[in-house]
Amino acid sequence: MDAEAAKFIGAGLAMFALAGVGIGIGNIFSNLIASIGRNPAARGQVFGIGILGFALTEAVALFALLIAFLILFA
Amino acid sequence: MASDPLHQFQINPVVELPKIGGLDISLTNSAAFMIAATVLATGLLVMGMRGRALVPGRLQSVAELLYEFIAGMVRENAGAEARKYFPFVFSIFTFILFGNLLGMIPGAFTFTSHIIVTFALAAVVFLFVTILALVKHGLHFFSFFFPAGAPIALAPLIIPIEIISYLSRPVSLSIRLFANMMAGHTMLKVFAGFTVSMGAAMGAAGYAFGFVPVLLNVALVGFEILVAFMQAYVFTILTCIYIRDAIELH
């Protein structure tokens, strides 16, 4: 197997991390919706933390993308 | 304009200046946009507050909204003692926000999409927080790496993990902002390129349906504007949380 093919396979394998990220983001927003549904007055408080949690989880997805780029181009 | 999606991140000199001691000090597109972000932010606040009306007009409302948003964030997340660091937090937020938003203008350069810029910002935050903690607590700062109440038998396991997670803060701060901006803009360029390649590859049908990637791009531009706000917000709120860690939890 030459290096080019191995790079493409490696970059594809790095995308498996996105499964965990998808579950994580779904978790955050499902809990956010459920908690707003239970207590609509808490929306202001939980919304900010929900967005923070979403951005932190998305950062993990971008770490995986970064590794894929490093494998492909460096 | 090159069709390569990564061409937009190239740094080009805007005003050529001579080399001093081997260093090229030309004004680059990145520096020009940083100056633009600073001028716009300063202009918004100075011009907005110039009237000082008790019932604010439109521009003053925007300036007051921005101030109150960050002031509330500092008050809640960094604590009452951190009020003196408000200018620092405010500057970080507006610099990153205006940088991200200026990059959304078609043909503009996003200076936060370069790791060296975001790493410089994250390093400033990290060094500021560490030096603050060391000045405030002295050598007691190192008790941060061993949370109170944990069984002492686990110390050889907990302390290295805590140290590594502390040292990874600037890394994650910088990579989060850089990767979001770079991935977003690359995605926009790739989808925009589909319209061109559809016309070239599929002939008449390609020209007829060339608007489909454009519609997708419209949705993506909206999403990228949201991401611009959110990334500035997340960087700033994490800065506030780190400041609170430095002041209190040691």
Angle between helices B86-102 and B115-137 (to 10 degrees): 170
**For chain A, domain boundaries:** 18-73
Q: What is the pLDDT of residue B210?
A: 81
A55 touching chain B per CB within 8 A? yes
B180 touching chain A per CB within 8 A? yes
pLDDT digits (tens, 9 = 90+) for A18-61: 999 999 999 999 999 999 999 999 898 899 889 889 988 988 99
Tell me the ipTM for this assembly.
Answer: 0.80
The pair of structure tokens assigned to B17 is 């200046």
Chain B positions in Cβ-Cβ contact with residue A58 (cut-off 8 Å): 176, 180
**For chain B, domain boundaries:** 7-247
Q: Is there a contact between A55 and B234 if contact means CB atoms under 8 Å apart?
A: yes
What is the pLDDT of chain B when averaged over all its residues?
90
Q: What is the pLDDT of residue A53?
A: 92
Query: Is-contact B246 B130, C-beta < 8 A?
Result: yes
The least confident of B15-29, B86-100, B179-193, B221-235 is: B15-29
Element (H, E) at B24: strand B23-24
The number of CA neighbours under 13 Å toward the Cβ of B13 is 9
Residue in chain B nearest A60 by alpha carbon: B176
Q: Which amino acid appears at position B141 of this protein?
A: F
Q: Which of B168, B234, B238, B239 to mutate to test the interface with A (most CBs of A within 10 A)?
A: B234
Check whether B62 has a pLDDT greater than 70. Answer: yes
CA distance, residue B205 to nearest chain A CA (Å): 31
B1: pLDDT confidence band, cut at 50, 70 and 90?
A: very low
Dihedral pair phi/psi, residue B154, rounded to 5°: -85, 0
Q: What is the pLDDT of residue B201?
A: 79
Query: Is-contact B104 B225, C-beta < 8 A?
Result: yes
CATH dotted code for A18-73: 1.20.20.10
Query: Is-contact B102 B36, C-beta < 8 A?
Result: yes
pLDDT digits (tens, 9 = 90+) for B114-173: 999 999 999 999 999 999 999 998 888 888 888 777 788 888 888 899 999 999 999 999
Check whether B2 has a pLDDT greater than 60. Answer: no
Size of interface A-B (CB pairs under 8 A): 34
Query: Is-contact B111 B98, C-beta < 8 A?
Result: no
Chain B positions in Cβ-Cβ contact with residue A18 (cut-off 8 Å): none
> What string of DSSP letters covers B61-123?
HHHHHHHHHHHHHHHHHT-GGGGGGHHHHHHHHHHHHHHHHHTTSTT---GGGSHHHHHHHHH
CA angle A23, B176, A11 (to 5 degrees): 65
Chain A positions in Cβ-Cβ contact with residue B176 (cut-off 8 Å): 55-56, 58-59, 62
CA distance, residue A44 to nearest chain B CA (Å): 12
Q: Is there a contact between A51 and B230 if contact means CB atoms under 8 Å apart?
A: yes
